[in-house]
Structure 1
Amino acid sequence: MKKILLLSAVMLVAGIVSAQKVNFGARLRYTDAKLMISAYGMTRHYRDLANVDPGVFADINFGKVTVEPGLLFALKGGALGGPIIGNSTDYNILNIDLQLYTLELPVNILYNIPLKPGKIFIGGGPYAGYAVSGKYKGYTTQYTSPNTVTEVSTTSTPVSFGSFPTYIKRFDFGLNGLAGFRLNNGFEINIGMGFGLANVVNKNNPAVMHNRTISAGIGYFFK
């Protein structure tokens, strides 16, 4: 792994040196995150999580192709669902969110289509993520009839990271997609997606969970 990281760093430095131009910029994206959960032969996702994620990027220009490494602070995770406890006239519904606050390192390779006011870009690439913190957030709604809510409460519990079967893995990796339009003055709009390939729970857990995201954002790259 260390050799792969070292080789990647050397290739990135070599690319920057040989590039025609390097610009730096920032993006702010509205992200919809969810967990794809597979267990006992069934796959589904529950409620999505919404967040605004900031990030900084380098735009390494090779003509019609640019390489964009970056650093994002992103919310990953999603709803885990929850049980219904009680009977038809008096019951509680519990929903639990897994919220993972993640540093993400994407490296996108983009193809550029020049236009008079700017350019269209489209492409994608790999990403690696590291969860710096996380929490389980529970929402309990108590009903005394199908249409009568008597109490709503929330709880928050820190996520435990490690190799224990019920713990969460800190490391994530996957593939990104990115497309957008950038004006000649550096402003842009973009849309993106993230397809997590890593199972974020340990192998002894009966469930398998992968991160998924879709996003829309704005950005600015300095000239």
Structure 2
Amino acid sequence: MKKLVLILALTSILIPQVNAQGIMKRMMANLYGGPKIEANISNFFFSDIPGLESKMKIGGSVGGFIGLRMSEHFAIQEDILVHYKVSGLEQNGIKGDFEYLGAELTFYATGNWKLYNGDRLSIGAGPFAGYGISAKYKADGKETDLYEKDGNGDTPLTPLNIGAALTVGYEFKCGLQINASYKLGIMNMLDSYKTNASMRPGTLSAGIGYRFGK
């Protein structure tokens, strides 16, 4: 009887551990990732700010991605990027540039399809969250720090930004990728004037990456 109890106790301990190890091995076998570099163009969508217009200008992004293949045609992927963005702003004939540096996490649910030649096509969608490190407005030889607090402790812009993203990619058999994405912010970036107006960013990106792993 004592032997039976001991065997049952050991079994109850070992079987979950074996199952957990098996799950971890399968997950590790389906992990992939790699570096990514992109060019981007960005602008803003305004409301209740008369006469203010935004024009797209070129910036760049660098970082990487990591993903987990859940099945042959479905994966969950996270992009980790640092962005440098530039947008032109014009109001009442005065032109300037908005320059932004920040980090961003994007989570995609992606569908993957293997083509007849062995290459892959992927389409994904999901949320993103970004945090600004620096945001400056330059016009007429002057530079304004848009994250600098005023006497009330408010800033012109908030560094936090969240929104939705869409992506499409083409991957060659060697692992080289060509990707494009569009991201639209849904959070008002204005801080001091957020009760009277809104400012939401849009970013179109295209670039290349390389996948390591399955």
What TM-score bracket applies, with the shorter chain setting the length? 0.7 to 0.9
1:11 aligned partner:
none
In structure 2, what is the equivalent of residue 132 of structure 1?
133
8 Å contact from structure 1 (residues 34, 212) kept in 2: yes
Partner of 1:68: 77
Higher helix share goes to which structure? 2
- Max radius of gyration: which structure? 2
Q: 2:160 aligns with which of 171, 178, 184?
A: 171
The CA deviation string for residues 146-167 of structure 1, in whole angstroms up to 9 with x for no partner, is xxxxxxx633232225585661
SS at match of 1:124: strand
Do the aligned partners of residues 111 and 45 (structure 1) sit closer, same or farther apart at CA in structure 2, a change above 3 Å counting? farther
Pairwise CA distance, 1:81: 1.4
Once the 2 structures are TM-superposed, how far is the Cα of residue 137 of structure 1 from its aligned partner?
1.4
Contact 2:147-2:159 at 8 Å conserved across structures: no
Aligned residues: 186
Do the aligned partners of 1:35 and 1:77 also contact (CA within 8 Å) in 2? no
Q: Contact 2:102–2:130 at 8 Å: present in 1 too?
A: yes
**TM-score, normalization by structure 1:** 0.74
Unaligned runs of 5+ in 2: 1-22
Structure having the larger proportion of residues in strand: 1
Letter in 2 for 1:101: L
TM value normalised by structure 2: 0.77
8 A contact 2:58–2:85 mirrored in 1: no
Give me the CA root mean square deviation: 2.6
Residue 58 of structure 2 corresponds to 50
CA distance in 1, matches of 2:98, 2:122: 33
The aligned residue for residue 207 of structure 1 is 197
The question of whether the paired residues in 2 share the 8 Å contact of 1:34 and 1:211 is answered with yes
* 1:43-93 deviation digits (Å, cap 9, x = unpaired): 974211211211211021112111111211113463331323xxxxxxxxx
Which runs of 5 or more structure 1 residues have no equivalent in the other structure? 1-13, 85-93, 139-152
